[in-house]
């Protein structure tokens, strides 16, 4: 079995910053502290703005040699609406916008330039061997159809040698009718099927089922929590949507599947995206993602499943 690497989605969200890092730890030292506990992280800030190469260089400098960073694709790359001001200033004049000031239906050439800048900025991680995959989390309105398949094919071509991790948010991709075709298509692309643990909401179209299938040598699991009450709350924030602390019993459900995935994959990752806080039992609060990540580490160790427990210097 390959060793399972466990981490959180972001190392700098509010829950971690306020309730996990030592009091008074400067922001510039948080990533190095994080790397003492986990040897991988998912960078989600890049969904909101294109990364700057100098910032990415600092990430590479502040992490140990064997650390792996997976990077979430900028919203425009996954057909999400983005505000015009999220683009670099020199691209704004060329961007078509809607009446709300959001970039709307840019050309392939325009998207291609965004891809190029995004990927170029990641070179410090790539050159140090610390770049994992690029996470493409598609919105729930991207459904299974020929146009969507064509976009996935095009996006994969833009990545070159970088790994593509694909998470769908519409059930049509992984329902009984399309599941086999979707998995076969991802395998042909050489892209990774992102496995999710999410709320189980009867009839909901924007919750993909958990499909324990590999389409590449990488096993990649994202734990979103199981808060059915807030998943589709109108106007709700991300911290509300993913506000959930897994119980030990719920995490134990994943020991056997992760053992099986680790036996099939060449590399395996599990990330916690539950980014709110819960009572810590001592009158304070704890960051859900870090608490559950540590808990899953212990459960896998107890079950003799190979699991990493922090980066090595």
Q: What secondary structure, in 3-state letters, does the chain show?
A: CCCEEEEEECCCCHHHHHHCCCCCCCHHHHHHHHCCCCCEEEECHHHCCCCCHHHHHHHHHCCCCCCEEEEECCHHHHCCCCEHHHCCHHHHCCCCECCCCEECCCCHHHHHHHHHHHHHHCHHHHHCCCEEEEEEECCCCCCCCHHHHHHHHHHHHHHCCCEEEEECCCHHHCCCCCHHHHHHHHHHHCCEEEEEECCCCCCCCCCCCCCCCCCCCEEEEEECCCCHHHHCCCCCCHHHHCCCCCCHHHHHCCHHHHHHHHHHCCEEEEEECCCCEEECCCCCEEEHHHHHHHHHHHHHHHCCCCECCCCCC
Dump pLDDT digits (tens) for 144-201.
999 999 999 999 999 999 999 999 999 999 999 999 999 999 999 999 999 999 998 8
Edge-first strand order for the sheet with 267-272 is 4-8, 267-272, 218-223, 192-197, 163-167, 131-137, 68-72, 40-43
pLDDT tens digits for 37-48?
Answer: 999 999 999 999
Res 286: pLDDT = 96
**Mean residue pLDDT across the chain:** 94
pLDDT at 309: 76
Give yes or no for residue 228 having a pLDDT over 90: no
- pLDDT at residue 311, as a whole number: 53
Distance, in Å, from the CA atom of 237 to the CA atom of 229, rounded to the nearest integer, reads: 13
pLDDT (0 to 100) of residue 232: 79
State the pLDDT at residue 229: 84
Query: For the chain, which residues make up each domain, given as ranges?
Result: 8-235
286 bridge partner residues = 278
Neighbouring residues of 284: CB distance < 8 A, sequence distance ≥ 6: 19
Nearest residue to 44 (alpha-carbon basis) of 134, 164, 154, 124: 134
Beta-carbon neighbour count of residue 189 at 10 Å? 19
Any bridge partners for residue 194, and if so which?
220
Q: Give the list of residues 6+ apart from residue 43 with CB closer than 8 angstroms, or none.
A: 10, 51, 59, 69, 70, 71, 72
- pLDDT-derived band of residue 233, with 50, 70 and 90 as boundaries? confident
Q: What is the pLDDT of residues 268-287, one digit of tens each?
A: 999 999 989 999 999 999 99
| 210-to-175, 178, 197, 282 alpha-carbon distances in Å | 10, 14, 6, 34
pTM, entire model: 0.95
Model pLDDT for residues 102-135, shown as the tens digit of each residue: 998 999 999 999 999 999 999 999 999 999 999 9
**What percent of the chain stands above pLDDT 70?**
98
So what CATH class is 8-235?
alpha beta
- Cβ(269)–Cβ(222) under 8 Å? no
CA angle 263, 266, 268 (to 5 degrees): 75
């Amino acid at each position: 079995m390959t060793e399972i690497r466990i981490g959180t989605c972001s190392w700098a969200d509010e829950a971690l910053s306020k309730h996990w890092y030592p009091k008074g730890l400067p922001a510039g030292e948080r990533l190095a502290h994080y790397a003492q506990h986990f040897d991988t992280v998912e960078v989600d800030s890049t969904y909101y703005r294109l990364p700057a190469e100098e910032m990415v260089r600092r990430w590479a400098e502040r992490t140990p040699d064997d650390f792996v960073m997976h990077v979430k694709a900028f919203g425009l790359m996954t057909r999400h609406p983005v505000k015009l001001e999220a683009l670099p200033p020199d691209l704004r004049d060329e961007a078509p916008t809607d009446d709300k000031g959001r970039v709307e239906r840019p050309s392939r050439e325009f998207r291609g330039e965004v891809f190029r800048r995004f990927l170029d900025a990641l070179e410090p991680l790539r050159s140090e061997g610390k770049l994992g995959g690029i996470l493409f989390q598609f919105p729930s309105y991207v459904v299974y159809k020929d146009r969507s398949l064509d976009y996935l094919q095009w996006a994969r071509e833009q990545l070159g040698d970088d790994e593509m991790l694909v998470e769908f948010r519409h059930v049509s991709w992984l329902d009984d009718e399309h599941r086999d075709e979707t998995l076969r298509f991802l395998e042909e692309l050489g892209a990774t099927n992102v496995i999710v643990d999410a709320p189980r909401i009867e009839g909901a179209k924007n919750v993909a089922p958990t499909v324990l299938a590999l389409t590449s040598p990488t096993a990649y699991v994202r734990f979103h929590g199981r808060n059915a009450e807030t998943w589709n709350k109108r106007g709700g924030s991300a911290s509300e949507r993913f506000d959930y602390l897994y119980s030990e019993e719920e995490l134990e459900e994943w020991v056997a599947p992760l053992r099986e995935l680790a036996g099939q994959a060449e590399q395996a990752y599990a990330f916690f995206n539950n980014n709110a806080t819960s009572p810590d039992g001592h009158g304070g609060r704890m960051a859900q993602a870090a608490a559950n990540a540590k808990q899953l580490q212990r459960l896998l160790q107890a079950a003799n499943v190979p699991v990493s427990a922090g980066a090595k210097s």
